[in-house]
Amino acid sequence: MTDTGSRGPLAGLLILDLTRVLAGPYCTLNLADLGARVIKVELPGSGDDARQIGPFMEPPIDPASAYFSSINRGKESIALNLKDQHDRSIFNELLSSADVLVENFTPGTMAKLGYSWEELHVRQPALIMASISGFGQSGPYSALPAYDIVVQAMGGILSLTGEKDRPPTRVGVSIGDLAAGLFGVVGIQAALIDRARTGLGRHVDVAMLDAQVALLENALARYQVEGQVPKPIGSRHPSITPFGAFNARDASLVIAAGNDAVFGRMCDALDLPGLPSDVRFSSNRARCQHEPQLRYILEEKLAQKDILEWLEILRTHGIPCGPINDVAAVMEDEHLNARGVFLDVPLAPGYAMKMARTPVRLSGEARVRPSPPPRLDENREAILAEFIGRERRAYFLTPTPQHS
C-alpha cells in the first residue's frame, strides 16, 4: 500500500489500471474520486480507445477528447506494451507495489500475456485483481465481444425501455458499462475488506450482462408472479399509480404518489377531493387497473396551470414531483450546485470543464480534488523515478520504439 498523502477513504491504495473505454475506466474513476492512486497503463502510440471518441476540444487542450477526460480525471498515465520485454519489466515493478489490478480485456487475454489470476496469486498473494468483461470469465458467451447496446439488449433492459407498442429504446446513458463499473467498485472494496481479515487477495469477476440482469428487479418478479413478459410502458411504473410523466399547460412534469396517503394529499393539492373514495382509485391496485382513466382526470386538471405553479403547490403538500430537466437545466440546478455536485477540472490554462463528482459523501473529511486527465504517457518519468531503482532507471527511461 502506497501513501501518497492524498485525501479520501481510499488514500494509500495503489490501483494499476489496464482498462479502456468505459466500464473499467468508470470503475477506477470512482476509486480515484474516493482517494485511491490510479496509474493508467495504456497502449503506446494510441492509448485508451476513448482518446479517439468525441466530442473533441480545440488545441491546446490535451487530451482533446472530452469523453476521455470526463472518465479519466485524477489518474496518471504510462504507456507500456505488455508484449514487449522492456515494458513488461516496468509493469512487473509497478505490479509488485500495487494493491489492485483492474483489467477489462476479453477473458483469456491476461493469461496469454502471462498475467492470469492463478499466476498472479501465487506471485503476489495479497494482490486483488478485478476483471470487468462483457460476459464474465466463465460460461458459453465468455469469449464474445460486447458493447453497452449488446448487453442492454441481451440483459432485457432494451425490451423494457420506451413507449408502448414502439420499437425498443436504448437507455440514454451507457447503463451496461456504468452498472458494471459500479459493481466493480463494490467488488473491489469487498475484496479489500476480506484481505484485511485474511491477508489474501481475491479475483473479482464482473460481467456487464450479469450487471444488467441484476438491475431488472421488478421485471423479474412480475414475470414469475403474473406469468406475462413485461413490455415497455413509457414513464409509468408497472406497479405504482400515479407514477410517471404528466402533461401540464406548458410542459410535462413527473408525479409519484407511492401510497394511499400520498395519493390523498395529491388529490387535495389538485382540488380533486372525490378521487380517493372512487372505487376505481381507492387503492393502488385499483389505480393500476384504471391508469388510463386516472391519467385523463389528472391531466385535465394539470392543463389549467403551468408546471412551475403545480410544482410549488404539490411540494407544499409534500408530493414527490419534479420537472423533466434536460442536461442544460441539470447543470444550472441550484440544488445540485449548492451541494457541489459539479467539479471544475482544469484542462488547459484558462479552460476548465465541469464534471460530476462521485455522489458518495463521507463525514469528517473533504473529498478528493482530482487532477486533470493525463496526456498519454504523461507521468512516465515520475512513475519510473518512484518505482524503479536508480541503477536501472536510465535504462527504463529510454522508451522502446513503440513509444516514439
Cα–Cα distance, 62 to 377 (Å, whole number)? 12
Q: What residue has cell string 496469454? A: 112
Cα–Cα distance, 353 to 69 (Å, whole number)? 9
The verdict on whether 237 is a catalytic residue reads yes
Cα–Cα distance, 353 to 244 (Å, whole number)? 33
Cα–Cα distance, 61 to 78 (Å, whole number)? 19
Cα–Cα distance, 214 to 208 (Å, whole number)? 10
Beta strands 128-133 and 100-103, pairing class: parallel
Angle at which helix 307-316 crosses helix 260-269, to 10 degrees, equals 130
Cα–Cα distance, 261 to 14 (Å, whole number)? 50
Specify burial of residue 363 (Cβ count, 10 A radius: 0-12, 13-18, 19+).
exposed
Comparing C-alpha atoms, which of 235, 237, 242 is closest to residue 219?
A: 237
User: Of all helices (H) and strands (E), which one includes residue 355?
Assistant: strand 351-356
| Residue among 86, 237, 290, 317 flagged as catalytic | 237
Cα–Cα distance, 23 to 104 (Å, whole number)? 8
Q: What residue has cell string 519489466? A: 89
Beta strands in 104-154 (DSSP E): 128-133
Cα–Cα distance, 262 to 256 (Å, whole number)? 9
* Catalytic residue set: 237
